[in-house]
Amino acid sequence: MNSVLRMLPARICELIKKLPTDKWDEVEEIRLRINRQVEVASNGIPQFLPYLFTKDDAEHFISKLANHSFYTLDEELKKGYITIEGGHRIGLAGKVILDNGSVKAIRHLASFNIRIAREKIGAAKKYIPYLFEQEWKNTMIIGPPQTGKTTLLRDIARVVSSGVYDKGIPSLKTGIVDERSEIAGCVHGVPQLHFGPRVDVLDACPKAEGMMMMIRSMSPNVLIVDEIGREEDSMAIMEAVNAGITLIMTTHGKNFEEIRKRPLLKPIIDQKVFERFIELSRSEGPGTTVSIKDENGNPVPMKRRAAVVHD
């Protein structure tokens, strides 16, 4: 959170730090809207701070985002969000400027949504017996927004890179294609989070192009990618599979049955490219496991508790 707090006006920082410990530890979003109270969401429950976010506050915040380089900010505005140190993503809203029907930039920024990235070492622990059986299985993590998909993906990448030698899990070359700079939280291309010794990251690179670049240049054993779903992503997935690379990735969706109906994902699922599907929700908080399914969409039998990998 420190990288977020450094960018906020001092009074807002003071109010956030005064939140009860249970809320502070579970902050998911901080929303800033000009002429409205600051909103802080923990476990999906909003709380409004006794502070009105002003236009001057917004200008101060934008200056921090731009790091005093407004050319850099202009490039980021085309995407509608900015990723800062630590992997935190800041969504932007305001007046959209179009160029031949395409978004050129966002001007007169009036709303900011700071999504807090969480690194939870051990989040993948209970899933490892389902995902590794002599080798890693091609895995897709499914869930609506803010269900902990990226947090889980991040920790799986750490385990793949580090290995768990007393459990017979080797350390493997791990390639991360981080289009939105959310998985690794890179600063100047260097991951700021914990990934073990064998991770290579392509930061701010489109997924499909990045997967092909990784295959050609870095020869990964396992590819980690967040939020697939476009036609070019599907083509790159098939290229990676045909190259003998294991894929572990996420996609937005409610469950296996829903994503199987999507025209772009259905052919991959029907070809049984993915051997495991983890369905997440936030019914009991982010990261709630709904089901673990096999390549046919059938629930995988529960593993014995003794088989769970421990760090």
Instruction: Give the angle subtended at the CA of 96 by the CAs of 95 and 101, to the nearest 5°.
Output: 155
111 plus 129 within the same structural domain:
no
d(CA 189, CA 211): 17
Q: Indicate if 13 and 80 belong to the same structural domain.
A: yes
Along the 311 residues of the chain, how does pLDDT read in single tens digits?
788 998 999 999 999 989 887 777 789 999 999 999 999 998 888 999 999 999 999 998 988 887 745 555 666 677 788 888 777 889 899 888 877 877 777 778 899 999 988 888 999 999 999 999 999 999 999 999 889 999 999 999 999 999 998 889 999 999 999 988 889 888 778 887 889 999 999 998 999 999 999 999 999 999 999 999 888 999 999 999 999 999 999 999 999 999 999 999 999 999 999 999 999 998 888 889 999 999 999 999 876 433 444 44
Tell me the C-alpha to C-alpha distance, in Å, between residue 248 and each of 136, 137, 199, 309: 9, 8, 14, 18
**Residues 94, 141 within the same domain:** no
Residue 120 lies in a domain: no
Do 109 and 136 have their domain in common? no
Backbone angles phi, psi at 144, to 5 degrees: -65, 170
Of 54, 80, 115, the domain-final residue? 115
CA distance 173 to 223: 9
User: What's the CATH number where 287 sits?
Assistant: 3.40.50.300
Among the candidates 90, 115, 140, a domain finishes at 115
Domain count within the chain = 2
pTM: 0.83
Instruction: Based on the fold, state whether residues 289 and 145 are members of the same structural domain.
Output: yes
State in Å, rounded, how far the first CA of the chain is from the last one.
25
Q: What's the CATH number where 9 sits? A: 3.30.450
- Is residue 139 located within the same domain as residue 175? yes
Question: Is residue 183 assigned to a domain?
Answer: yes
Structural domain that includes position 14: 2-115
